Amino acid sequence: MAKRLVCFLAVAVLATTCHGWGGGAGDVVSAAALSFMDRLRQMIPVGDGDYCDSWRVGVEANNVRGWTTAPRKCDNYVENYMRGHHYRRDSKVVVDEAMAYAEGLVLSGDAAADANATWVFDVDETALSHVKFYKKHGFGYHRTDEPAFMEWLIAGRASALPNTVTLYKKLLLLGIKIVFLSDRPDTPELRNATATNLIKEGFDCWDELILRSGNSTATGSVVEYKSGERKKLEEEKGMVIVGNIGDQWSDLLGSPEGERTFKLPNPAYYIDNYMRAGAAVATTASSSSS
Amino acid sequence: MAKRLVCFLAVAVLATTCHGWGGGAGDVVSAAALSFMDRLRQMIPVGDGDYCDSWRVGVEANNVRGWTTAPRKCDNYVENYMRGHHYRRDSKVVVDEAMAYAEGLVLSGDAAADANATWVFDVDETALSHVKFYKKHGFGYHRTDEPAFMEWLIAGRASALPNTVTLYKKLLLLGIKIVFLSDRPDTPELRNATATNLIKEGFDCWDELILRSGNSTATGSVVEYKSGERKKLEEEKGMVIVGNIGDQWSDLLGSPEGERTFKLPNPAYYIDNYMRAGAAVATTASSSSS
């Protein structure tokens, strides 16, 4: 009931598209939800953990680019990271910063800006986690043109990233408009699956759910596509993008970036900033290895 | 002799300002140079190491901004990090990426671009380390208007960051022009001290050593100042900035950024991207704490 009230208030304030609260999130990737196997896994030493730790920080700071997979010797490290507490605590710091920033914004008193204040969320590994898929198919492999991954997306069984849900709910309460902007191809089947999965996992109010429309094999960088969509939101819809959160630098780069950007961690795969060939969502750039 | 030959070749190719090789770097902050005290320090558990580790990654990914000091509970963590192997290995990953990128560049075969190819280095915590100063005065405190820090800069006893020296020498060999671009105030005394310290530590060829000229109390963001100087390098001197490396996001943001940017780690202090008041080099923004 409380959840419905929040959504109702958000609708009243924002004229947002809202959907029934699924109340789902049954398999949420939460700090408390580590499985017995994942807890065991955290105790296994990984190959060159120190190197892999530094490599991961290099990825997060946008120093290490254009890789197709994590360095071979970091396979176990990346899997442990994504399945354990480390990923969760790194994500929490990002979201805590975002929430503190958002709370300050709404107190700015600039009514015109506040009314159109908009937050852009990426979808994959930002709102929804595919860790369950990677557990079966291996970490560091993510292409929407891969049949197995496409089947997974259409099945709509991805789990919410719990820290992102927390941020999302805070933003709704603050009266900030929500846009989901994804590089998933905009087919009817995938649009429906994306919307259903988001709603089931608690993300059930938004102003826009933007997928990559038109010919899904069109070339063009992710940065160009996403920054172009953000520009349309600002110029055609009068939105003021106060925040933009994603797990890839290609979610965040390219004008207009948004007044603040937030980079969630993801050492499992890299989406290229500059080129996009075919329907691949993931990079086809050269591999970084060591 | 070999070093002199490298410098001579660089001069011949670049008409670069070169200076005698100090051969110094006697107190280089190298992986092998951890003191007994620093090695002991690495064994002491820090307060909330997990949180501080995630906070540091948040800083590196430009999520955590505008802080005056590290969170209080991370004081020991930051000191251990900067004095230990962790800082060194994180820096090495960044520099390895930069070197691989630079090697690829020179093989591009674009003679016109290659001849003007330029790399911009920040100075403090990028070329020169002030860890020795912080050991005495505390980590996370860095203002050029502080008498003690100014005395330290003028004494010119900062050590080279060894990974940066490696990159610098590689770039000289590749025929890439070198620019040092610092927010240090451009007083005759400080210019002389900066040049002398750089030379002593092995950075003895450059095309430009740019310090903040004019009224050192002028307002204006570090991003505006540094991007403005980069623009002048490109538009007035025909340089093509192929690389830009610094320890602060304010070294790297603002058009033209350079074709690739590299963020070296620094959890000890934050230089504000957006504002600059007085002669303070370090931030005066609000503190991030937890």
Mutate which of B42, B53, B54, B86 to disrupt the A interface (most A C-beta within 10 Å)? B54
How far does chain A reach from its first CA to its final CA, in angstroms?
53
Least confident range from A7-11, A45-49, A234-238: namely A7-11
Quote the pLDDT of residue B220.
79
Angle between helices A2-14 and A162-173 (to 10 degrees): 50
Mean pLDDT confidence for A49-55: 94
Q: Does A233 have pLDDT greater than 60?
A: yes
Q: Does B276 have pLDDT greater than 60?
A: no
Residue A223 in domain = yes
Mutate which of A85, A93, A245 to disrupt the B interface (most B C-beta within 10 Å)? A93
Quote the pLDDT of residue A105.
85
Residues of B with CB under 8 A from a CB of A: 50-51, 54-55, 57-58, 60-65, 85-86, 89-90, 92-94, 96-98, 261-263, 265, 288, 290
- Determine the Cα–Cα distance for residues A117 and A82; give it in Å rounded to an integer: 32
Chain-centroid distance of CA B279 in Å reads: 19
Across the interface, of A85, A93, A288, the residue whose CB is closest to B58 is A93
**Phi then psi for A71, rounded to 5 degrees?**
-50, 140
Residue B284 in domain = no
Q: What is the pLDDT of residues A100-131, one digit of tens each?
A: 999 998 666 777 767 899 999 999 999 999 99
- A233: closest CA among A250, A253, A208, A262? A208
Q: What is the pLDDT of residues B17-64, one digit of tens each?
A: 666 433 333 334 444 566 777 766 666 666 678 999 999 999 999 999
Quote the pLDDT of residue B142.
56
- Using a CB-CB cut-off of 8 Å, the residues of chain B touching A55 are 93
Residue A286 in domain = no
Helix (H, G, I), strand (E, B) or coil at B210: strand
CB contact under 8 A, B51 and A89: yes
CB contact under 8 A, B288 and A97: yes
- Using a CB-CB cut-off of 8 Å, the residues of chain B touching A90 are 54, 57-58
Interface A-B: count of C-beta contacts within 8 A: 75
Residue B290 in domain = no
Instruction: Give me the percent of chain B exceeding a pLDDT of 70.
Output: 73
- Determine the Cα–Cα distance for residues A102 and B61; give it in Å rounded to an integer: 18
Mean pLDDT confidence for A57-63: 98
CB contact under 8 A, A54 and B93: yes
For B249, which residue in chain A has the nearest alpha carbon? A61
How many domains does chain B divide into? 1
Higher-pLDDT residue of B61, A9? B61
Higher-pLDDT residue of B144, A240? A240
What is the 3-class SS of A26-93, one letter each residue? CCCCCHHHCCHHHHHHCCCCCCCHHHHHHHHHHHHCCCCCCCCCCCHHHHHHHHHHHHCHHHHHHHHH
Across the interface, of A58, A96, A288, the residue whose CB is closest to B94 is A58
Least confident range from A212-226, A269-283, B138-152, B267-281: namely A269-283
CB contact under 8 A, B263 and A62: yes
CB contact under 8 A, B61 and A64: no
Q: Find the Cα–Cα–Cα–Cα dihedral B200, B201, B203, B204, rounded to 10°.
A: 20
Residue A98 in domain = yes
Helix (H, G, I), strand (E, B) or coil at A231: helix
Mean pLDDT confidence for A76-81: 92
For A64, which residue in chain B has the nearest alpha carbon? B97
Q: Does B246 have pLDDT greater than 60?
A: yes
Q: Does A144 have pLDDT greater than 50?
A: yes
Structural domain of residue A98, as residue ranges?
2-263
Amino acid at site A96: D
Across the interface, of B55, B93, B290, the residue whose CB is closest to A58 is B93
CATH of the domain at B8: 3.40.50.1000
- Using a CB-CB cut-off of 8 Å, the residues of chain B touching A92 are 54
Quote the pLDDT of residue A75.
87
- Determine the Cα–Cα distance for residues B159 and B151; give it in Å rounded to an integer: 15
Q: What is the pLDDT of residues B156-213, one digit of tens each?
A: 999 999 999 999 999 999 999 999 999 999 999 999 999 999 999 999 999 999 999 8
Mean pLDDT confidence for A50-79: 94
Quote the pLDDT of residue B17.
63
Residue B271 in domain = no
Quote the pLDDT of residue A33.
64
Structure tokens at A21: 């609260």
Residue B174 in domain = yes
User: What's the pLDDT band for A16 if we cut at 50, 70, 90?
Assistant: low
Higher-pLDDT residue of A267, B75? A267
Mean per-residue pLDDT over chain B, rounded: 82
Mean pLDDT confidence for A13-22: 50
Instruction: Give me the percent of chain B exceeding a pLDDT of 90.
Output: 61
Tell me the C-alpha to C-alpha distance, in Å, between residue A12 and each of A16, A205, B62, B276. 8, 12, 35, 42
Residue A272 in domain = no
User: What's the pLDDT band for B285 if we cut at 50, 70, 90?
Assistant: very low
Q: Does B94 have pLDDT greater than 50?
A: yes
Higher-pLDDT residue of A275, B143? B143
- A63: closest CA among A284, A273, A280? A273
